[in-house]
Structure 1
Amino acid sequence: MLTKGKTGLVVIDVQGKLSTVVHDSERFVANLVTLIKAAKLLDMPIFWLEQNPEKLGKTVPELQEVLGSVTPISKFSFSACGEPAFVEAVKKTKVKTWLLSGIETHICVYQTTLGLLDLGYEVELVSDCVSSRALSNKVLALEKLARKGAEITCLEMCLFELIGDCRADEFRSALSLIK
C-alpha cells in the first residue's frame, strides 16, 4: 500500500516528437498532467528526467507547465540510475516507493525501474501514465517488470491509496483532478 510521505514520483523522457507518436499520446499526457498535479497536492518529491534533450527536444509544454519549479535532470543512459545526479537526489529523500511514469515503457522506464529495484526501492508503474510507440511493447514491459518485483498501479488507484480517507484534507482537491 502506498504511503503519503514515503512515496515519490519520477517522470521520464516525455519529450519532443516522441511524445506525440506513443500509443494514445493525448490521453497519456493528460493523465500524466493529472498525476503530477496530484503529486504536488500531496507534497511528494518529484524527479523529472530528459533523455539527451539537445537531440530529442524538451519536455512537452503541458508537463513543463505543471512541473513548474522542478528542475529537469538530463541523462544519456537509458536508465535514470545511470545518471549520478539522479541517484544522489533519490538517496537524499525519505522515499521508500517510487511511482514511475513516462516513455518509453520498454526502454527508459523499464531500465530505470530495474535500477531503482536494484538500489532497494519499491517501484510502482502507473500503467495509464506510461506509454510506448507500440502498445505491445508497453504491455510486454509491464508484464516483465511485474515478474521482476515491480507493482503495477493506475492513476486513480495510486491517488486514492495515497489519500487513504475521504476526510483527508486533500480529498476534495484530488477528486476534482480526476472528474
Structure 2
Amino acid sequence: MNNKNALLIIDMQQEDGFVLEHFDTVVANTAALLETARHQRVPVIYTRHINQADGSDLPRGEPRAADGGPSSYRAGTRQVEILDQLTPQPAEHIVDKGRYSAFHRTDLDARLKALEVDTLIISGVLTDVCVLSSVFDAFALGYRIRLVSDACTTTTLAGHHSALLIMANWVYALEILTSRQCLRALEHLDYLSLIPEHPDCFAHQPHEFESTIARLNTHLARTQE
C-alpha cells in the first residue's frame, strides 16, 4: 500500500434497529484494522448516521416514529454513538451525515484532501446501503478504494454479496481484500487481493446468483492462503 491511505469506518454505531449478519466478526475485524492503522499512523475517519430528532432533515419516505421523528439514528440518543469496542481517539475524525453516502453534504472530501489522502480503506455497515453509496461517491471523486470484505455486513448475506458484486463490476478503482490481507498491507508486507480486471466481470443472470457468489468467494478465499 502507498502512504496516502485513510481508514474510513462507516456507521459502526450502537443503533440496534437492524439484525446484521456476522456482526460480531465484523466488529472484531474492524477493531484489528483500527489497531494496526493507529500503529502505522494511518488517519482514521469515522462516520455516524444521524438525523434530527424532530425529523426535519429526513428524506422523503424515510420511516418515522409515532412522534414524527426518525425511527432510527435519532440525534441525542445513545444509538448514534460509535460502538464501545471501536471508540475514537481524541485526534481521530468523526463525520456526521444525514444520508447514506459519507460524502453527501459533509466535509469528508475536504478533510481527506487536507490529509493528502488518495486511497480509502473502507469498512462498516450496511454493505448494500451506506458502504455502497460511499464507495460510488469516493470513486466519482477520484479516490482509490480498498474495500475490506469481512469488515462489512448488512441485514442478509444475499444483500452483502449483491453489493460486493455490483461494486466489483463497476468501480474501476476498486480493490477487494479480506481483513487478514489488509492487515498485511498496512504492515507493508506482501498481500493478496481481488482487483477486477474488466467491466461487469461478475456479470450473472438471476439463476446464476449463487454460483457467482461462490466465484467471488473463491477469489477472496485465495487471499486467505
Name the TM-score class by shorter chain. Answer: 0.7 to 0.9
* Alignment-derived partner of residue 196 in structure 2: none
Q: How does 1:67-78 map to 2 (within 5 A)?
A: 67-69=88-90, 70-78=92-100
Whether the aligned pair in 2 keeps the contact of 1:19 and 1:25 (CA below 8 Å) is no
Distance 1:87 1:140 in 2: 27
> Deviations for 1:118-137, whole angstroms, at most 9, x for unmatched residues?
00111011011111011111
Which residue in the other structure is 1:174 paired with? none
**TM-score by structure 2 length?**
0.67
Q: How many residues align?
A: 162
| Structure 1 pair 143–43 and aligned structure 2 pair: CA distance change class (3 A) | same
Q: Which has the higher contact order (CA 8 A, sep 6+)?
A: 1
Structure 2 distance, partners of 1:104, 1:33, is 17
Take 2:146 and 2:8, find their aligned partners in 1: how far apart are those partners?
10
User: Does the 8 Å CA contact 2:44/2:93 hold for their aligned counterparts?
Assistant: no
Q: For each residue in 1:109-157, what CA deviation from the matched residue of structure 2 results, as whole angstroms up to 9, or x when unmatched?
A: 0000000000011101101111101111111111111112222111111
Q: Tell me how far apart the structure 1 counterparts of residues 167 and 44 of structure 2 sit (CA, whole Å).
A: 22
Contact 1:16 1:59 in 2 (8 A): yes
C-alpha distance in 2 between matches for 1:165 and 1:134: 33
- The equivalent residue for 1:123 is 145
- Give the 3 Å change call, closer, same or farther, for CA 113–165 of structure 1 in structure 2: closer
Structure with the bigger percentage of helix: 1
Q: Which residue is 1:152 aligned to?
A: 176
Q: Which runs of 5+ in 1 are unaligned?
A: 167-179
Hey, what does 1:48 align to over in structure 2?
46
Distance 1:19 1:86, change over 3 A: farther
TM-aligned CA deviation for residue 165 of structure 1: 4.2
TM-score, scaled to structure 1: 0.84
Question: Where has structure 1 moved over 6 Å in runs of 4 or more?
Answer: none
d(CA) in 1 for partners of 2:159, 2:113 = 30
Counterpart of 1:35? 33
**SS of match in other structure, 1:8:** strand
Return the offset for 1:83: 3.0
Deviations 1:81-128 (A, max 9, x none): 103321211121222210100000000000000000000111011011
